[in-house]
Amino acid sequence: MRFDEAYSGNVFINSHPLVEESDAVIYGMPMDWTVSFRPGSRFGPARIREVSLGLEEYSPYVDRHLDEVKYYDAGDIPLPFGNPARSLQMIEEFVTKVLQANKFPLGLGGEHLVSWPVFKAMYNKYQDMAIIHIDAHADLREEYEGEPLSHSTPIRKACELIGAENVYSFGIRSGMKEEFQFAKDSGMYMAKFDVVEPLKEVLPKLAGRNVYVTIDIDVLDPAHAPGTGTAEAGGITSKELLNAITLISNSKLNIIGTDLVEVAPAYDPTEQTQIAASKFVREILLGWVKK
């Protein structure tokens, strides 16, 4: 599978036409085969791109313009409908090729299970990596109703892959009692309910580390992001998530890749979810992609 030819659809605003001259690759993972509540996140990547056309290309948060970073939008990976195992394999193969070309991978989901093959591809290159996980849900289940390939399992799989002590979760406010007990017993870091203040404490401890960041849009309160599959009351504001992204931008971490998942446009006719997501992508591009 190639990553250097756009598959389909629109591209994120100001995307560079040549992948070989770009430092980052945006790609979509349009999969929602295992969701436990509301489907539709497979349409998230395309809609995030479409609404990005309404963005300003200048960011007052970091005082940078999108002209200052070169990124290529490869479109959505053509995942086979209803086939989780093959879809995950295709994602891992795609990201592996992006990394082999020394490009920064920026994935758009899709349900959160799509992060699992990305973790594997990243770990094959960065054996010392840590993961920052920003989400409403713990995602620490071993299975969901007997199925290990579930959007409720990627962070448990990450703990088993890279060691729980290298996984840092923020904003968590939903999960089984057993998931919270696993977090306590395993040595992973979990900040319940909040993101910004715990990040301020953790980021200095991760200075110099290779870090992958996965963001589930449902970390936001449904008042700010109703367009998601499993909305959870009690979340943070879009302003707080922007602050968190800026904190990471200003940290001494080596961000090696990221994804933003679980945008389901059908549940938000106001478009505020996808508009917020596109702004987060802009800030990530300007703050996390290094030349």
Q: pLDDT of 101-137, one tens digit each?
A: 999 999 999 999 999 999 999 999 999 999 999 999 9
Res 211: pLDDT: 98
Distance CA(251)–CA(30), nearest Å, equals 31
DSSP conformational letter for 166: G
Res 150: pLDDT: 79
Full set of structural domains in the chain with CATH: 19-288 (3.40.800.10)
The dihedral through the CA atoms of 289, 92, 211, 112 has a sign that is: positive
pLDDT in tens, 238-280: 999 999 999 999 999 999 999 999 999 999 999 999 999 999 9
CA of residue 149 relative to chain centroid, distance: 18
Res 34: pLDDT: 84
**Which of 9-13, 37-41, 189-193 shows the highest mean pLDDT?**
189-193
CB 22 within 8 A of CB 69: no
For residue 208, pLDDT beyond 80: yes
Place of tokens 């580390």: 209
Cα–Cα distances (Å) from 255 to 58, 75, 121, 175, 188, in that order, read 22, 22, 15, 27, 19
